[in-house]
Structure 1
Amino acid sequence: MSATPDRRALVVGASRGLGLVLVDELARRGWQVIATTRRPGGELQEAADASNGLLTIESLEMTSTEQLTALAERLAGTRLELLFVNAAIDRGDLPIDQVPTEMFTEVMTTNALSPLRAVEALRGLVAPGGTVAIMSSEQGSVSRNTEDGYELYKASKAALNQLMRSYATRRGDDGHTKLLIDPGHNRTELGGPDAPLDPRESIPAVVDVLEAQAGAPGLRFLDRHGNTVPW
């Protein structure tokens, strides 16, 4: 994004999977990275210990508005070039008529509502010309929903995209680049062991897109190659 060596990013949801690889890749490129996790320790702490101070960790339960407010207060005065929100859960492949109300609420809260709450709570830390990005999915594309399966997950990602579009409309004059990123189907706990992509190969491409899009106006829904994903 910036040509300066002190680029700073905040990645919400970085304890495992794509978020963990993302913070590792950003730090590898010299970014100062703040990563959030619900639970301390694990691979994220190992990455922080090996980062020569480029990666620091903050505790956050993203579904808690109180914790979001507390994080924003702790980071007051921090200048971010990138705010990246990564969060998703999947509760299996059920037809929508078989999805319990509690499950519907949990998935929609985690995958759609909470990421936008995080953006709203933390957007004030993003510098003029900085980027606000959310990890989305091609599964949230309504026009590409042509195969059966995973109806609740698809609906949650479509809801996320629509809420981000509303946010971009409401915050259109804030000078921030706004991105929804489709990283592809990766071999993670969420994506499963048979997914075709290795996060260590796909996430560097995602970071290339983040850096290339810095300063671009408006909201774009892009894949890891920088191509537009249809709504």
Structure 2
Amino acid sequence: MTRSNKVLIIGASRGLGMALAQEWLSRGWEVVATVRSANTPLHRLEQVFGNRLCIEQMDVAEPYDTDSLARRLAHHDFDVLYVNAGIALGSADRADEVSTEDFTRLMVTNALSPIRIVERLREKVKEQGTIAIMSSSLGSVALNESGGWEVYRASKAALNMLMRSFAARHASASWGLALIDPGWVRTEMGGANATLSVEESIPGIVNQIAASSGRPGLRYYNYRGETLPW
């Protein structure tokens, strides 16, 4: 019996995370995906894909939840670990106006938690597998010529820097490491004015991960595979 490829997606209850799960499922993969609550849009996919989709509950900002997930997945290994969880503050995103509480919440969710998850779950990724995190072109310091989205930009820049440190700590590892910009996508977070549909973004992300399979080292690129400046 041929073994199916398997992906673990952290943060897949809706939006881009759910679309990633659906895309990999449609390609015949087994998917383990995490959500925060027991009733999400992702649960509807169970009726379509059956036991190829396993849904686990966790809060990305709670280290105990990550440890618990690792124990539940003790006998699993994955071709891809994809950390998608992230939040934005919307209009309350100027550095001189944001509350300390909101700033902390954004940094913990968007930067600290993904790296903690990657460090804790990296041993679940097989050799030559891929560890990817959903970043953004807004995290590029070099590309910030227009301002706006100040705290969100800072959180993604911090994420990128932490992932570079992770790559340096594990320089001899055989994983492919990726920070991926999905583009500006029409989701609840991206808004109705975004320039891309989910159908334009998500297949490109999955294609790029497939194309870089077995290629070690860290890359920062968009859904078209174009390298982004740090």
Matches within 5 A, 1:12-51: 12-51=10-49
**Partner residue of 1:53 out of 48, 51, 54:** 51
Superimposed CA distance per residue, residues 170-223 of structure 1 (whole angstroms, 9 cap, x where no aligned partner): 011121110000010000111111101001221011100011011112100011
RMSD (Å) for aligned C-alpha atoms: 1.0
Q: Which stretch shows the higher mean deviation, 127-136 or 90-99?
A: 90-99
Which residue in 2 is equivalent to 1:198? 197
Corresponding position: 1:108 with 2:104: no
The residue type paired with residue 104 of structure 1 is F
Q: Answer yes or no: is the 8 Å Cα contact 2:204–2:223 preserved in 1.
A: yes
The residue type paired with residue 54 of structure 1 is R
Which residue in 1 is equivalent to 2:210? 211
Q: Answer yes or no: is the 8 Å Cα contact 1:5–1:31 preserved in 2.
A: no
Q: Secondary structure at the match of 1:105?
A: helix
Q: Answer yes or no: is the 8 Å Cα contact 1:84–1:134 preserved in 2.
A: yes
C-alpha deviation, 1:108, in angstroms: 0.2
Which residue in 2 is equivalent to 1:82? 80
Which residue in 2 is equivalent to 1:92? 90
Q: Answer yes or no: is the 8 Å Cα contact 1:5–1:30 preserved in 2.
A: no
TM-score after normalising by structure 2: 0.97
Q: Answer yes or no: is the 8 Å Cα contact 2:173–2:216 preserved in 1.
A: no
**Partner residue of 2:63 out of 59, 62, 65:** 65
CA distance in 1, matches of 2:50, 2:173: 34
Which residue in 2 is equivalent to 1:119? 118
CA distance in 2, matches of 1:26, 1:62: 22
Q: Secondary structure at the match of 2:119?
A: helix
Matched residues, percent identical?
A: 46
CA distance in 2, matches of 1:57, 1:44: 8
The residue type paired with residue 146 of structure 1 is E
The residue type paired with residue 111 of structure 2 is A
Q: Which stretch shows the higher mean deviation, 91-100 or 21-30?
A: 91-100
C-alpha deviation, 1:227, in angstroms: 1.0
The residue type paired with residue 14 of structure 1 is A
Corresponding position: 1:223 with 2:222: yes
Gaps in structure 1 of 5+ consecutive residues = none
C-alpha deviation, 1:53, in angstroms: 2.0
C-alpha deviation, 1:48, in angstroms: 1.9
Matches within 5 A, 1:138-177: 138-177=137-176
Q: Secondary structure at the match of 2:165?
A: helix
Which residue in 1 is equivalent to 2:185? 186
Which residue in 1 is equivalent to 2:134? 135
Q: Secondary structure at the match of 2:50?
A: coil
CA distance in 1, matches of 2:97, 2:200: 36
The residue type paired with residue 73 of structure 1 is R
Aligned residues: 228
Gaps in structure 2 of 5+ consecutive residues = none
TM-score after normalising by structure 1: 0.96
C-alpha deviation, 1:42, in angstroms: 2.5
